[in-house]
Amino acid sequence: MAIEATDHFTPIARKLRGSVLRVPNLDSVYGRWKQGLNSHYDRLVMEINQQLDGCFQEERANAAKSMDFALLTCRSYPCADWPQLRGMGLFLVFLHLFDDEFDRKADTNVKDQASDLNLSNKYRLGMYHFVESALLNGAPNYNDIEKTLIGFAPVCNFFSAIVPALRDAPNISIPRFLKDLEFFMGPSNEEQHRLTLERRFPTVEQYDAFRLGTGAVDSICDLHQYVAGTNLPDAIARAPEVMTMRREASIQTCVCNDLLSLRKELNDMTLTSLIPIHLHESGASMDEIVGKLVQELSRSADAFDAAAKGLRTKAQGHGEGIALETGRFIEVFEGFQTGCFAFFSKSKRFGIADCQLPDGSFCIPL
């Protein structure tokens, strides 16, 4: 039986417009970890812009440039050397380019990946096969069907710029990386179907189940040894503590994004985040919901720190060299989480930089 389409967005948007989103100072969460700005910021801006200009027409290239993913990368990896910084910067842009095909507001007058689930599924599957072929065989290719998909080839061409670096890195497990990329690409189907096209809110539990995939953090964490310049033994690199660190970094990034992106989503009428979903499900006040999300950020940060402490202790049993490498590896995770917060709060993407008060809290008119 077909599910009757119901627009959940409009009543929630009416409720939100004209209100004020108040978020407390988050230093208790992010002030504990490594922060900074990589000195190669200007160089990375030029590199990303050059790659975008080479792959996309001017309008799409300029839209991606305006997101300033060089800032996200340089805030997240303040100590990374240039080759690794370049690789991460281009990879983060690729994730955005892929996700933007489905995350933007659908135009019912245009049949493309944003408005047609069948086309978007072909796009997802085709992109995964392209990336898989590129990384496993070094011979990226796409078939005739995929060539007809709007915007497919330029995104593939952009990804090709980082294939050599990823294939040649001794500390990246390509099979695991591909598995986590598949975890990122697959759940966007559910997000697009339910939220973007049908404008129906899932339950908070359902949302959490696919959000950790669409956040793409697992695939980013797969590259953290690459960033740190470490080659840790499996007993450390795949320890249960690392699995906890990865999960909590993913939760941190997704919850922080959802906490600070509401103004942008309301302006775009793409209400695909926790605050409107909580409002729809529970009817709680916005202040109550914000309080619950901030508590989750604090819980997650504490869980991350406990796991990191355990990993440092475990690494000491492998000698001084491994202990030092493990410390650098952990710092990359810490920098990534603080970098995402800095990017969400300071960049043009969410447009809330002028909403931060002298005491560090946010007062965001909606």
Give the model confidence (pLDDT) of 44-84 as tens digits. Answer: 999 999 999 999 999 999 999 999 999 999 999 999 999 99
How many Å is the maximal CA-CA distance in the chain? Answer: 62
Quick one: three-class SS letters along 49-87? HHHHHHHCCHHHHHHHHCCCHHHHHHHHCCCCCHHHHHH
Given a cut of 70, whether residue 97 has pLDDT beyond it is: yes
pLDDT for the residue 206: 82
DSSP state, residue 212: H
Q: Is 300 helix (H, G, I), strand (E, B) or coil?
A: helix
Residue 356 pairs with which residues in a beta bridge? 362
pLDDT for the residue 258: 94
Residue 365 pairs with which residues in a beta bridge? 20
pLDDT for the residue 4: 41
- Measure Cα distances from 330 to 144, 158, 175, 293, 344 in Å: 44, 29, 22, 24, 22
pLDDT for the residue 211: 75
DSSP state, residue 364: E
Q: How far apart are the first and last CA of the chain?
A: 38
Q: Can you read off the two tokens belonging to residue 22?
A: 């108040």
The single residue listed with the structure tokens 């080479």 is: 54
Given a cut of 60, whether residue 194 has pLDDT beyond it is: no
Question: What are the residue ranges spanned by the domains of the chain?
Answer: 9-359
Minimum mean pLDDT range among 13-17, 24-28, 117-121, 241-245: 117-121
Minimum mean pLDDT range among 67-71, 120-124, 166-170, 224-228: 120-124
Q: 179-194 burial string, b = 16+ CB within 10 Å, else e?
A: ebbbbbbbbbbbbbbb
- Measure Cα distances from 178 to 18, 87, 118, 220, 251 in Å: 43, 16, 23, 11, 21
Q: What is the mean pLDDT of residues 215-223?
A: 92
DSSP state, residue 356: B
Give the model confidence (pLDDT) of 135-181 as tens digits. Answer: 998 766 666 556 667 778 889 889 999 999 999 898 999 999 999 99
Given a cut of 60, whether residue 193 has pLDDT beyond it is: no
pLDDT for the residue 176: 93
pLDDT for the residue 210: 74
Give the model confidence (pLDDT) of 337-360 as tens digits. Answer: 999 999 999 988 899 999 999 999
Percentage of the chain with pLDDT > 90?
A: 65
- What are the helix (H) ranges across 104-203? 117-137, 144-147, 152-160, 163-168, 174-185, 188-191
Instruction: Band the pLDDT of 212: cuts 50, 70, 90.
Output: confident
What phi-psi label fits residue 216: left (phi over 0), alpha (psi between -120 and 50 degrees) or beta? left
pLDDT for the residue 242: 98
Question: Class assignment of domain 9-359?
Answer: mainly alpha
pLDDT for the residue 3: 37
Give the model confidence (pLDDT) of 232-284 as tens digits. Answer: 999 999 999 999 999 999 999 999 999 999 999 898 888 888 999 999 888 88
Provide long-range contacts, Cβ within 8 A and 24+ apart, for 323-331.
Answer: 325/228, 325/230, 325/231, 325/232, 326/230, 326/232, 326/236, 328/228, 328/229, 328/230, 329/224, 329/225, 329/228, 329/230, 329/232, 329/237, 330/245, 331/34, 331/79, 331/228
Q: How far is CA 287 from the centre of its chain?
A: 25
Give the model confidence (pLDDT) of 310-346 as tens digits. Answer: 999 999 999 999 999 999 999 999 999 999 999 999 9
pLDDT for the residue 147: 61
